[in-house]
Chains A and B, each alone.
Chain A
Amino acid sequence: MPETLIPDLATPAGWLPVVFLGLMAIAMLAYVVLDGYDLGVGVLLRGEPEADRDRMIAAIGPFWDANETWLVLGVGLLLVAFPVAHGVILGALYAPVALMLAGLILRGVAFEFRVKSAPHHKGRWDFAFFAGSLTAAFAQGVMLGMLVTGFRNGPAEIAFALFIGACLVAGYALLGAGWLVIKTRGDLQLRAVRWARRSLGLTALGIAAVSVATPLVSQRVFDRWFQLPELVLLAPIPLATALLFFVAWRSLSRLPVRLSQGNEYGAWVPFASAVGIFVLAFYGLAYSLFPYLVIDRLTIWDAASAPESLWIILVGALVVMPVILGYSALSYWIFRGKAEALRYG
C-alpha cells in the first residue's frame, strides 16, 4: 500500500486530521479504561448479596457519569472531525450500537431506580444494572471485532466478533475487579481478587485474537508489523503486554494472603497492570489501523471536516481539556480511599 495517500503534513488540511485522530484516540482510550472498570463492576454484580452490591455500586457511584462522558466526547469527535466516517462506521455497526445503547440506558437508570423505586423492586433493578452492563460491554466487543475485520459480514467474521464481545466482557471484568480490590475491603475484596484472576485468561485470548486477525485481514497491516526493522522495533509492545499479564497474575496470587492480614501493599497493582494492558493493546491496534478509520478503505483525510471548523474546535479543546482533566482529578481525589455508602447531603 503506497504511503503517498498521506497529504502534505505541513498544511492544516494535512496535520489537523492527525491531531484530531489523536484527540479522539485519547478520548476513546479514556472511555474504555474508565467506563470499562465501572461496566466491569456491573458485570460482577450478579448473584452477590445485597450489602455487597451496595458497596460495589458505591465504589463507582461518583464516577460513572463522568466516565461515560468520554464516550460522548469520543463519538462526538468522530462526528465533528470525521463526519463521513461517523456515518459509515455507525451505519455498519447499527445493530451492536443499538444494543449497546439499550444496555447503557438500563445500567445508567438502574443506578437511580435501584434505591429510589419501591424496595421490593431493588432486586429487579440490580438485575437490570447487571444485564445493562453486560450488554453494553459485549456490544462494544462485537463492534471492535467488526471494526477489525473491516465490516465483512461472513459467518467467520460474525463468529469472530461475538468471540471478541465475550473477551471484552472479561477484560472489563478484569478492570472492574481490579478497581474493587482498591476500593473495597474484607471478604468482598478477596472475592474481587479471585474475579480478576479468572478474567485474565479470556482477556489475553481476546488480545491475541485481535493481534492475529488484523494482519490476516490486511496485507498492509501484516507488512507494518512483520518487516525488518519494524519487527524488532515493535517487539516491545507484545513483550510488555505479556509482562503485564505476568505481573497481574503474580500480584493476584500473592494478594489474598497479604490482604487478609490487613496489608494493602500492592492492592493497586492488578488495576494498574490491567490499565497498562488496555493501553498497549489500544496502541497496537491504533498503529495497525493508522491512517485508516475503516480498515484499508477510508483514511482520516478522506473523512475529515473542513480545516476552519477543525481549528475552532481545536482552540476550544486546548483551552478546556486541561480544565476538564483538572476537575476530574479533583473528583477522584475527593472520593479517594475505600468506598463508603453513598449518601446525599
Chain B
Amino acid sequence: MELDPILLARIQFAANITFHILFPTITIALGWVLLYFKLRFVATRDPKWMAAYMLWVKVFALSFALGVVSGITMSFQFGTNWPGFMETVGNIAGPLLAYEVLTAFFLEAVFIGIMLFGANRVPQWLHTLATFLVAFGTTMSAFWIMALNSWMQTPAGFEMRDGVAHATDWLAIVFNPSMPYRLGHMLLASGLTVAFLLAGISAWRWLRGDRGPDVRVALRTGLLIGALLAPTQAVVGDLHGLNTFEHQPAKIAAIEGVWQTERGAPLLLFALPDEEARENRLAIGIPNLASLILTHEWDGEIRGLDEFKGEHPPVAPVFWSFRVMVGVGLLMIAAAFWGLWATRRGRDPGRWLARGLVAMSFSGWVATVAGWYVAEIGRQPWLVHGVLRTADAAGDVPAALIGGSLAMYLALYVGLTIAYVLTVFRLAAKAGATASPAQPPSIEAPATGAPSHA
C-alpha cells in the first residue's frame, strides 16, 4: 500500500496537537481556580479551601507536566513536519512564538517549582504570588498561541515579497480580525472544561461517601463556574461564528452542510454529507434557522460549497465536529443550572445528578477537541488562509519514517491519556481516604512518596 507522506504528517501533527491541547485546556483555568482556593483560604482560614487546593494542585501539576512535554514535541514538529510553514510565514509566526516562550514559558516553568515545592521555603505572599504568576503565564501562553492561530485563519498586517510574508503592522497581526473571538472562545472552553472536571470529580467523591466540606465546596465552585460560563460561551461562540461567516465562508458552508448557495437555509440537526454526490443524505433540519442565526434575516443568503469547489474543507468531519461541540455545550448549560439548583443552600445533589456529572467529568475535552477540529479542518486546504496551502508546507521526510514515529507517538499518547484519567480519579480517591471532615489533611502531604518525617 502506498502511504501518502503528507497525509501521515497531518495525522501525526493532528494526533500530537490533539493530545497537547487536552492539558493546557485544564491548566489555563485551573491555575486561576487554585489562586481562588488559595486566596479564600488566606482570607477565611477555613481548612476546606486548603484541602480543595491540595487535591487540585496535584491535578494541576500532573496536567502541567503532560502539557509541557507534549508542547516541546510541537515545537519540533513545526520543523520536521511543516518546514514550508516557517519558510513562508516565519517572519510572522516566529516573533509570536518567541514572545510566547519569553513571556509565558519561563514564567510558568520557574514559578511552578516555587508554587509546588516552595510553600515552606518562602513567605506566604510569595507563594500566593507564584500561584498568580503561574496562572498568568498559562493565560499569556494562550494569548500568543491564539494570536498565531487566528492569524493563520484571518491573516492581516503583512505583505508578500518573493513568496515570503513580511510583517507591516504588528498590532494588526496580533489583533487580527478573528483573534478576540477565538481567544475568548478558547479561554471560556478552558473554564468550562475545569468547571465540569471539578464538578465531576467532586460528584464522584460524593457518590463514594466522601462528603467533606472540601468536596462540597469544589462541587459548588465547579457548578457555579459552569453556570456562569456555559451561557456566555454560547453568546461568544455565536459571535465567533458570525466572524467566521464574514472571513471564512467556506468553513461556514461546511459547518452548515450547505452545498448550493441558498436563501433561508435550514439548520441541519442531522445529515450525512456525501462528498461524492455533493449533497446531504438523510437531512433533518429546522427551516430557515441557519440563515436567521448567521445573517439575522429570515431568508438571508448563505454561500454554498459549490462556490468554493476545490477550495473547501472536507465537509463531514467539520459538519459533525461542530454538532458534537454544540451538543456538549448545550448539555453543559443544562447540567450546570440543574446542578446549581439541586445543591442550593447546602442541599445534597441527587444520585442521578451526581452520576450525570461524573459522566461529564471530561466533557470539556470532547467539546474543545471537536471545536479545534472545526477550526483546523475547516481551514483546509489552507494552512494559512489564502496564503499557504498545507500540501505546499510539507517536508520530504519518507513515509516510512513518519509512519514509524507516528505509531510510537500514538502508543505513547493513548497510554498516557488513559494513565492521566485513571490517576486523576486515584488522586481524588486518595484525597478522600486521607481527609476526614473533622481532621483536614496536613499541608505537609508528601509529593514524591518520600517519608514525610524527613
Contact = CB atoms under 8 A, between A and B. Distances in A.
Interface of A: 51, 54-55, 57-58, 61-63, 65-66, 68-69, 71-73, 75-81, 83-84, 86-91, 94-95, 97-98, 101-102, 104-109, 111-119, 122, 305-306, 308-309, 312-313, 316-317, 320-321, 324, 327-328, 330-331, 334-335, 340-345
A65 B27 CA distance: 15
Contacts of A65: 64-65, 68, 108-110, 112-113
A79 B85 CA distance: 10
B57 A72 contact: no
B66 interface: yes
B167 A309 contact: yes
B426 A117 contact: yes
A108 B450 contact: no
A81 B450 contact: no
A320 B103 contact: yes
Given A72-B105, A341-B448, A116 B86 contact: no
A108 B454 CA distance: 25
Given A65-B109, A79-B97, A108-B69, A86 B103 contact: no
Contacts of A73: 101-102, 105-106
Contact of A95 (B58, B64, B76, B401): B401
Given A102-B408, A343-B452, A91 B396 contact: yes
A88 B58 CA distance: 40
A151 B446 CA distance: 47
B68 A116 contact: no
A343 B170 CA distance: 44
Interface in B71-100: 71-73, 75-76, 78-80, 83-84, 86-87, 90-95, 97-99
Contacts of B286: none
A72 B72 contact: yes
Nearest to A119: B449
Interface in B166-208: 166-167, 170
**6 closest A-B pairs (Cβ-Cβ)?**
A87-B83, A80-B94, A341-B450, A83-B90, A90-B79, A83-B86
Contacts of B450: 51, 54-55, 58, 341-343
Contacts of A94: 80, 397, 401, 405
Nearest to B93: A80
A88 B91 CA distance: 17
A313 to B, nearest CB: 5
Interface string B404-417: 01001100100010
A307 B3 CA distance: 40
Q: Which of A101, A306, A308 has the most CB of B within 10 A?
A: A101
B337 to A, nearest CB: 33
A116 B420 CA distance: 10
26 contacts: A62-B117, A62-B118, A65-B64, A69-B109, A72-B105, A73-B106, A79-B75, A80-B94, A90-B76, A98-B408, A112-B66, A116-B423, A119-B449, A306-B164, A308-B167, A312-B95, A316-B98, A316-B99, A317-B98, A324-B106, A327-B107, A328-B106, A341-B454, A343-B450, A344-B58, A344-B445
Contacts of A305: 90-91, 94
Given A86-B83, A94-B397, A80 B106 contact: no
Interface in B103-134: 103, 105-114, 116-122
A113 B419 contact: yes
Interface in B395-445: 395-397, 401, 405, 408-409, 412, 416, 419, 422-423, 426-427, 443-445
A66 B69 contact: no
A331 B110 contact: yes
Contacts of B448: 54, 57-58, 61, 114-115, 341-343
B72 A86 contact: no
Given A65-B113, A72-B75, A342-B448, A91 B101 contact: no
Nearest to B111: A327
B228 interface: no
Given A313-B95, A344-B58, A98 B447 contact: no
Given A72-B75, A109-B65, A313 B101 contact: no
B79 to A, nearest CB: 4
A76 B101 contact: yes
B116 A309 contact: no
A345 B116 CA distance: 7
A107 B73 CA distance: 13
Contacts of B98: 76-77, 80, 313, 316-317
A102 B119 CA distance: 32
A101 B73 contact: yes
A343 B427 contact: no
A76 B401 CA distance: 24
Nearest to A105: B69
B21 interface: no
Given A117-B419, A343-B120, A109 B57 contact: no
Given A89-B79, A116-B426, A308-B167, A68 B68 contact: yes
Given A87-B83, A340-B454, 19 more contacts: A54-B449, A72-B71, A78-B79, A79-B75, A80-B93, A80-B94, A86-B86, A89-B79, A91-B395, A94-B401, A112-B423, A117-B422, A308-B91, A341-B450, A342-B448, A343-B117, A343-B119, A343-B448, A344-B117
B117 to A, nearest CB: 5
B73 A68 contact: no
Contacts of A111: 65
A343 B444 contact: yes
A91 B397 contact: yes
Nearest to A315: B95
A340 to B, nearest CB: 6
A62 B447 CA distance: 12
A4 B76 CA distance: 33
Centre residue among B94, B170, B451 by max chain A CB count within 10 A: B94
B366 interface: no
Given A90-B76, A317-B102, A343 B94 contact: no
A252 to B, nearest CB: 27
B101 A62 contact: no
B51 to A, nearest CB: 12
B75 A75 contact: yes
Contacts of B242: none
A42 to B, nearest CB: 14
B66 to A, nearest CB: 6
A63 B447 CA distance: 15
A68 B422 CA distance: 26
B401 A306 contact: no
B288 interface: no
Contacts of B122: 334
B445 A331 contact: no
Interface in B129-166: 164, 166
B54 A344 contact: yes
B387 to A, nearest CB: 15
Contacts of B423: 112-113, 116-117
